[in-house]
Amino acid sequence: MGFVTDSLHKGVRHEKNSDATLPPICQVSAFGFQDMETLEDVFNGKAAGFAYTRIGNPTVAAFEQRISALEHGFGAVATSSGMAAISQALLNFLSTGDEIIASGGLYGGTIQLFTLFRQLGITVHYANDLSSSVLEKILTPNVKAVFAEVISNPALKITDLKSLADFCHSHSLPLLVDSTTATPFLVNPIDFGADIVIHSSSKYINGTSNSISGVIIDSGKFDWDFDRYPALKAYSKFKKMAYLMRLRKDSWASLGGCLSPFNAYMNIIGLETLGLRMERICNNAHKLALALSKIPGTNVNYPLLGIENDEQNSLCKTQLKGFGGGILTLRTGSREKTFKTINSLKLATVASNIGDVRTLVIAPAKTLYLHNTEEEMHAAGVYEDTIRVSVGIEDAEDLIEDFTQALKSAL
């Protein structure tokens, strides 16, 4: 089936004794039982059921099942935010003294999280080039994972998933990818070898900026060495399911970053139109990028603007179904021109989110990257004159006219 059909029907579990087309919102903290024996069995995993929403809820489970199916995963765990998803996905198997390799140019909040990891004794090595030759030079015996963004935000660099996954697996390392900006509409990273897929589902999955949330999808394919990853050893009896089982029964439940049932419900609604929105958004972004690239004095960054046979253009075709994503960045030449351009826009909303049906703009240098170093900013493609545009579903012609007039008035 096609993606839009899948998003409506795949992973859907119809409620018994109900004709509802959507799962009910179970907005409760705890669930009642007829007797103590049954509750005991649920707590011990001997019987199916829900006891307490922090460790499981039917509405949240419905969202998890749908996103796992769309990502071709083995199972999923939803979290309270995208940052909670990244932190829990890694802390689920890392220990003090471990190291990870991460792609350069990450989202500023992720860099801040990795700075916090240092206090836990976990070191992060950044690599702007994820080629095997570069990775081999920074690989150490203590490196336990590789983390990358499928489409970096806002540098817009596309990761060659298959090449990176092959390198990781040749060194018995799991590959974790943040696919927030790609979404399962553009790519299923698991099909290219990724082991864990992470989304800030507050963005494109939700689609209308009404719910903060995140989700972790496990492929169930990585062969965990429990001597090398002692944090998972207590779950070794589950073998390839060990990661997901520890995440659900221990890390996620204990850290408390659970998703609210209402937000899970809003994400389910968002998933059902994800394919329609992403196709429109990506087409709009490409048209807008092409139009703005012709304005003198404007430097536009968008993956599909490259020459026909360059690596990024090629990856758009081989990994992203021919699309370039829904974000573009542009540089105006100065902070003053950037602010004047943004302030002259009539349709775009000045906001720090991405993935909305509305076009959103921000100058990330002194906002999203306020606490990052200049080196970190530049690796992410962020300069004082950078504008990040999260393109919406408005008519492309209207967006082109609006951005054109704003840039011409500023330049």
Are 170 and 125 part of one and the same domain? yes
> Does 201 score more than 70 pLDDT?
yes
Locate 361 and state its tokens: 């703009």
> Does 15 score more than 70 pLDDT?
no
Are 252 and 321 part of one and the same domain? no
The pLDDT of residue 308 is 59
Last residue of a domain, one of 240, 270, 300: 270
Locate 192 and state its tokens: 């290219």
Which range of residues forms the domain containing residue 292? 276-410
Percent of the chain with pLDDT over 70: 98
The pLDDT of residue 22 is 87
Digit-coded pLDDT (tens) for 347-404: 999 999 999 999 999 999 989 999 889 998 998 999 999 999 999 999 999 999 999 9
Among residues 169, 201, 181, 209, the alpha carbon closest in space to that of 68 is found at 201
What is the CATH classification number for the domain harbouring 349?
A: 3.90.1150.10
Last residue of a domain, one of 270, 294, 329: 270
Name the band, by pLDDT with cuts 50, 70 and 90, for residue 16: low
Among residues 55, 41, 40, 75, the alpha carbon closest in space to that of 250 is found at 55
Going by their DSSP bridges, the two strands 175-178 and 143-149 should be labelled as parallel
Are 77 and 223 part of one and the same domain? yes
Are 266 and 280 part of one and the same domain? no
- Total domains present in the chain: 2
158 φ, ψ (degrees, to nearest 5): -90, 130
Are 88 and 225 part of one and the same domain? yes
The pLDDT of residue 148 is 98
User: Exposure pattern of 383-406 as b/e (b: 16+ CB <10 Å)?
Assistant: bbbbbbbbbbbbebeebbebbbeb
Name the band, by pLDDT with cuts 50, 70 and 90, for residue 173: very high
Are 228 and 290 part of one and the same domain? no
**CA 397-403-407 angle, 5° bins:** 145
> Does 51 score more than 80 pLDDT?
yes
Asked whether the beta carbons of 261 and 25 are under 8 A apart, the reply is yes
Are 186 and 122 part of one and the same domain? yes
Digit-coded pLDDT (tens) for 299-327: 999 999 876 568 888 999 999 999 999 99
The pLDDT of residue 306 is 72
Asked whether the beta carbons of 390 and 353 are under 8 A apart, the reply is yes
Are 138 and 122 part of one and the same domain? yes
What is the CATH classification number for the domain harbouring 130?
A: 3.40.640.10
DSSP state of 158: B
| Torsion 57-59-61-67 (CA) sign | negative
Q: In whole angstroms, what is the distance from residue 226 CA to residue 161 CA?
A: 25
Count the residues in the chain: 411
Last residue of a domain, one of 270, 295, 327: 270
In this structure, of 176-180, 197-201, 263-267, 307-311, the range with the lowest mean pLDDT score is 307-311
Q: What is the identity of the amino acid at 251?
A: S
Q: Is the full-model pTM beyond 0.85?
A: yes
The pLDDT of residue 143 is 98
Q: What is the CA radius of gyration of the chain?
A: 22
- What region, left, alpha or beta, does residue 159 occupy, with left being phi > 0 and alpha being psi -120 to 50 degrees? beta
| Torsion 186-191-194-199 (CA) sign | positive
Which run of H or of E encompasses 78?
strand 75-79
Angle between helices 82-91 and 108-117 (to 10 degrees): 30
The pLDDT of residue 44 is 83
Are 238 and 323 part of one and the same domain? no
Among residues 218, 172, 219, 165, the alpha carbon closest in space to that of 192 is found at 165
